[in-house]
Amino acid sequence: MRSGMMRMIPEIDLSSSQKKALVDLACDMIRLKTVASNEAAIVEIIKNIFDGANIRRHIIEPEQGRASIIGFIGSKRPRLMLAAHTDTVAPGSGWKTDPFKPVIRNGRLYGRGSVDDKGPLASLIAAALILKQYEAKLRGSLVIAALADEESGSKLGLGYMFNSELWRSIKPDYAVVADTAHNMHAIDIAEKGVLRISVRCIGKAAHGASPQKGVNAINAMAELITLLEKHRMRFKKHTLLSPPTISTGMINGGSAPNMVADACEATLDIRYLPSQKPSGITREIKQLCLRVQKKRGCSFTLSKTLEMKPTETNKDSSLIKCLTKAAEVVAGIKPRLIGLSGATDAKRLILAGVPAIGFGPGDEDAAHAANESVDIKELYEFARVCVLTGFELLL
């Protein structure tokens, strides 16, 4: 350990057997297809690990097969949560190997979930097993969470836990969410807000042979989308977050190919900054709708389907300081602070009143991509960073 970097805490490296167990666990989880389903199979594996190490645990399963598991080490405060998710996105095309058959090649682990989020989860489990050995000495406690349903919004995972009696008894003081990648060179402390708006356009039906007698809702929606693409929303710059965006994610309209479409509906996905308010964004979109209405004789209605506020953790928090020091000690890295356009469980934790950050191993562009992979050495180092962060906060 580099002198002067951290206070005197135990020197930790992973043994050969601990490294093997970490990789074996990651491979076992990759083999299980958990695309918006079957997280309970991973929970069963982790349950057996926790039971073998005498780690107290609780399982929640709001729907059959959609389970999460939470382990507990110690019972005092402060309380640190280490969290990762067990579900993945679908593999998609372009793979050179079977995405659900892990492959180790040139020091990298290949497979769906290797970086998002099963490899990092295996590192968190390895860190928890080490911290368990120091349980009697901890002045605080650790919560280790393997969560379902993150890729689909966390309703059956973290969101469900927020509404349970369990959450009220285990709410942490800090949280590290292993779902950011950037090869541990960045700490996610800010995330844009998410606003989804359903836009419905009503036109006038007519025979397809006489389109001039109708008002085509699809054409009107196309014009609105073109205006939205060119529109620059009103906002103040943020030091960590890029400008806000509007994306048309879904569209549906018309009832027959030989009819002028009398209705069309589109869903807008908007990522906005702390200086903006959903009401103001909605007003800006309505103004564009009015321009199209006056020109085409149609009508628009807007309805909000999702809202998640922008979030930011204090850059001077003790969690960030401890984790930064740990990364320097373990890997010679001084992570920079960043903001994300996407929404992770760190956002959900912050909205629930928990100072949370995103941090983890792996290449930023590997998640959700074909031939997803992670450097195995980074998984080892990430486990050690989590151990040292735990020591610094809890020992």
pLDDT in tens, 291-312: 999 999 999 999 999 999 999 9
> Which structure tokens are listed for 29?
């989880």
pLDDT at 179 over 60: yes
Q: Express each pLDDT in 92-120 by its tens digit.
A: 999 999 999 999 999 999 999 999 999 99
For 219-248, write each residue's pLDDT tens digit.
999 999 999 999 999 999 999 999 999 999
Q: What percent of the chain has pLDDT over 90?
A: 94
Other Cβ atoms less than 10 A from the Cβ of 224: the count is 26
Res. 180 pLDDT band, cuts 50 70 90: confident
Per-residue model confidence (pLDDT) at position 11: 66
Q: Tell me the per-residue pLDDT of 244-293, one tens digit each, with 9 for 90 and over.
A: 999 999 999 999 999 999 999 999 999 999 999 999 999 999 999 999 99
Residue with tokens 């929640």: 60
Handedness of CA 360, 37, 96, 123 (dihedral sign): positive
Residue at token pair 């999702």: 306
**Cβ-contact 225, 175 below 8 angstroms:** no
User: Mean pLDDT across the chain, nearest whole number?
Assistant: 96
Closest-CA residue to 127 (of 115, 145, 114) = 145
Confidence at residue 12, expressed as pLDDT on a 0 to 100 scale: 81
User: What is the fold, at CATH topology level, of the domain defined by 193-308?
Assistant: Alpha-Beta Plaits (3.30.70)
Distance between CA atoms of residues 95 and 208, nearest Å: 44
331 C-beta neighbours (distance < 10 Å), count: 20
DSSP code at position 242: P
CATH 3.40.50.150 fits 16-191+310-394, yes or no: no
CB 36, CB 151: distance < 8 Å? yes
Q: Considering only CA atoms, which of 85, 84, 88 is closest in space to residue 102?
A: 88
Closest CA to 264 of 294, 224, 234: 224
Q: How confident is the model at residue 8 (pLDDT cuts 50, 70, 90)?
A: low
Do 16-191+310-394 and 193-308 show the same overall fold?
A: no
The reported pLDDT for the residue numbered 335 is 97
B/e letters for 38-76, b = 16+ CB within 10 Å, e = fewer, are bbbbbbebbbebbeeeebebbebbbeeebbbbbbbbbee
CA distance 42 to 32: 7
| Domain range summary for the chain, segments of one domain joined by + | 16-191+310-394, 193-308
pLDDT digit string, tens, across residues 45-89? 999 999 999 999 999 999 999 999 999 999 999 999 999 999 999
Q: Is 32 helix (H, G, I), strand (E, B) or coil?
A: coil
> Where in 51-192 does DSSP place strands (E)?
56-63, 66-73, 79-85, 103-105, 108-110, 141-147, 174-177, 186-191
Query: How many CB atoms sit inside 10 A of residue 223's CB?
Result: 17
Beta bridge partners of 68: 60
d(CA 316, CA 357): 12
pTM of the model: 0.91
